[in-house]
Amino acid sequence: MKLKVVVHKAEEGGYWAEVPAIPGCMTQGETFEELLQNLYEAIEGCLAVDIDKPSNSKNAQIFEIAV
């Protein structure tokens, strides 16, 4: 999966970034390298969603795919 990220220089120093495709997904870092590391964690956290077991569990499955 490829996502576009908007990186901003923070007024107080460092950087902050937002992921427009994932509303509310943003992070910051003191250095660009720290920002990139934090971005991976932020995106993973924003996309991680707990799913309740389906009501008709005999005919339904939950699994993960990578895109």
Q: Kindly report, residue by residue over 5-24, the tens digit of the pLDDT.
A: 999 999 999 999 999 999 99
Write down the pTM of the prediction: 0.70
Structure tokens that stand for 19 in this block: 């992921």
Q: 48 near 22, Cβ under 8 Å? A: no
Among the listed residues 21, 28, 59, the one whose alpha carbon sits nearest the alpha carbon of residue 42: 28
Q: 38 near 30, Cβ under 8 Å? A: no
Cα–Cα distance for residue pair 33/16, rounded to 1 Å: 12
- Which domains occur in the chain, in start order? 1-67 (3.30.160.250)
In the block, tokens 């990139």 appear at: 36
pLDDT in tens, 27-48: 999 999 999 999 999 999 998 8
